[in-house]
Each structure stands twice: as structure tokens, then as C-alpha cells.
Amino acid sequence: MADSVSRRVTLNDVARLSGVSYQTVSRVINNHPYVAEDTRARVLEAIEQLDYHPNKAAKSLVTRRSQTLAVITYGLDKYGPAQIMINVERAAKEAGYDLIFSNIHETSLESMRAAMESLEGWQVDGILAITPVANILCEELRALCGSVPLVQVDIPLGAQVPSAVIDQRWGSALVTRHLISLGHTRIAAISGPLDWFGAQARHESWRETLREARLTPVASLEGDWTAGSGYQAAGQLLDRGLNFTALVVANDQMALGAIRALRDRGLRIPEDISITGFDDIPEAAYFDPPLTTVRQDFGVLGNKGVEYLMERIADPQAAARQVVIRPALVQRLSTGRPCPERRT
């Protein structure tokens, strides 16, 4: 129980109570060797009794490190970044680091700079940036970080900077090939906002996979990750009178919207149109029909990111590498063989 009003308890208070010097108390706290067992015990007891907690500011001031990681995120209201964030927090705590946290609301360099500004003074030991958007330029970010180790999560595959990513191209190829193997030849798409790396990768990979199979993409529209935008995009695709039997949607929420749009027009899924999502949010299995999608393991991503950041803190000179995680196809009931005959 912390004293309510009084001065904070310091090293000296503990020292006085246990009858040793402040230095000895410091040694006990930091588990230095060469402290007699009974001394240690006495000090520990005093610490307990006074409810002493080392002042991190003071420690950080002299050691020039803070046992603190900064997490910078963008798009925390989206499923992916939020999941990553949660897992990063867990991993960081387990590694004994505190977290100071900053979400960026616009993708401007300015707001990025503002976020960094607030970290500059904290002497953070490392920075983990969840920057899934293209125009938060990696280079700028690296410059802003100066010599503080930085690991980026959710950036393009193949980027030559320390990072942890999910191979989105792979995931997109997975669903697209799945549809092709079912016999679909006329495949449309709804992409995410194309300034997101992931959206871009999924989109390009969709195109390429079709090309490899000597198929021409029917059409694609850009959504903003929300169910509403998926609804609209699917509606437009249909309104244009386009003829397709499968729809590759860049995330599960938009797929939900798209499903509704198709239903509204009396189309059956998957009999008339097969539909796929991306992410495998927990609800996807309960869509109607259950959604065939791509599972991304954000937990692993967060862990790997932190793990790698630790590595870089320990050895900042080590060559940059990229930790890559592969997503997996989750086959459910929203995809099926195309019907020989079709509607309108």
C-alpha cells in the first residue's frame, strides 16, 4: 500500500532502514553478485516494508536506457493493426519492457513527426512501428528514429529494412488459385485502399495469379476495408452488368458487405457467385454462408516483431532481415464450383 501523501520512498530510505549504504541497496535491486546473503535479505525486507519502487526516470537518466519500447501504429481501428498491437504488448511485457504508445491518425509525414517528437525525449530502447500504409515512407521513419533500433511490422515483402511481415501475396494467390481450381474463369475483385501495402500486394498478386493461369481479370474496385464499402463496390460491379462467377474481396468485413449486396440482388452464394475474404476474423465462420478466407496469424507476427527488435537492441549492427510469415487458406462455404448456366 503506497503512502498517500508523503514523499516518495527512495534508495536512501531503504538504505537507512536496513543499515547499509545506498549503493548496497542498488546492488540488491539489480541482482549484482557480491552481496552477502543476510545483507540481501535485510535489504529486501526493508524494500518490502517501505513498498519501495525504483524510480525509472532516475535510472533511465543515468543508464541512458529505459527498458521501454515505443509502439507506433496506424489504423488501430482496423482488425489487423489492432491484433498486432495486442500481441506486441504481450510480447514486450514478457520480455520485461514497458510500452509507450502512439497511434497516428493521418498518414502525413507531419503527424508521423509529431508522434516521434513525443518519443524523442523518452530514451526508448527500441521502436516498433506498425505502418501498413505506403505513404508513411520507411525512409523518413528511419531518419526520424536516428540511431534507435527500429523494426517495422506490416510493410512490403522484400523491403530491405528490419521488419516482420505476412506474405500477403501468397495469401492472395492462395484464394485466387483456389477459385481457379474450382473452375472459375471470370473473377472480379474488391481491393482495400491501395495506399495500404497489404491491399496493394493482395491486389497485384490477384492479377498475377490470374495471368499465370491465362485468365483476364474481370474488374476490380477499391474499397476502404469497411463492410459498407464492400457493399457499395459489389453493387457497382453488378450494376455494370459484368459477368463474373467469383469475387475476391480483400478483407472479411468488405466481404460481408459484398455478400449482402449480392443477396439483395437475388444472387446465391456460392451457387451464383463464389466469394472470398481475407484475415479470417473470428466472425467469418459465422457469416452466411461461412466465409472462405485467408488466415493471418497476427499473434505470431507480433511476437516475431518484438523478438526481432530485441535482437536488434542487443546488436544494432546486425544485417537487416525480414521475418516472413505465411498465411493459410481457410476453406468454408462461400466458394464452390461455378454453375454451367448463369443468370442475367
Task: Tell me the C-alpha distance between 274 and 333, whole Å.
Answer: 9
Distances (CA, A) of 94 to 88, 100, 214, 291: 10, 15, 49, 34
The one segment of 29-37, 157-165, 312-320, 329-337 that binds DNA by CB under 7 A = 29-37
**Interface with its own copies in residues 285-324 (CB under 8 A):** 285-288
Candidate residues 17, 27, 232, 305; the one interacting with DNA per rule CB under 7 A: 27
Question: Residue 148 in contact with residue 124, Cβ under 8 Å?
Answer: yes
The cell for 277 is 475474404
State the nearest-atom distance from the C-beta of 58 to DNA, in Å: 3
The one segment of 61-69, 194-202, 214-222, 309-317 that binds DNA by CB under 7 A = 61-69
Task: Tell me the C-alpha distance between 243 and 192, whole Å.
Answer: 22
Ordered alpha helix ranges (H), the chain? 11-18, 22-29, 37-50, 56-63, 79-94, 109-120, 138-145, 168-182, 197-212, 227-239, 252-264, 298-314
State the nearest-atom distance from the C-beta of 3 to its own copies, in Å: 7
Q: Which residue, 68 or 220, has its beta carbon nearer to its own copies?
A: 68
Task: Tell me the C-alpha distance between 20 and 240, whole Å.
Answer: 83
Candidate residues 1, 4, 31, 34; the one interacting with DNA per rule CB under 7 A: 34
Task: Tell me the C-alpha distance between 259 and 261, whole Å.
Answer: 5
The one segment of 17-25, 90-98, 264-272, 334-342 that binds DNA by CB under 7 A = 17-25
- Distance from the Cα of residue 236 to its chain's centroid: 31
State the nearest-atom distance from the C-beta of 125 to DNA, in Å: 14
Question: Residue 187 in contact with residue 245, Cβ under 8 Å?
Answer: yes
State the nearest-atom distance from the C-beta of 323 to its own copies, in Å: 23
Interaction partner, residue 24 (its own copies, DNA, none; CB < 5-8 Å by kind): DNA
- Whether omega for the bond prior to residue 289 falls within 30 degrees of 0, making it cis, is yes
Residue 36 lies near DNA (rule: CB under 7 A): yes
Q: Binding string to its own copies for residues 223 to 262, with x set by CB under 8 A, is what?
A: ---xxx-xx---------------------x--xx-xx--
Question: Residue 148 in contact with residue 68, Cβ under 8 Å?
Answer: no
State the nearest-atom distance from the C-beta of 159 to its own copies, in Å: 21
**Interface with its own copies in residues 33-62 (CB under 8 A):** 53-61
Residue 120 lies near its own copies (rule: CB under 8 A): yes
Counted residue by residue, the chain has a size of 344
Site of interaction with DNA (CB under 7 A):
7-8, 10-12, 19-24, 26-27, 29-30, 33-37, 39-40, 52-55, 58-59, 61-64
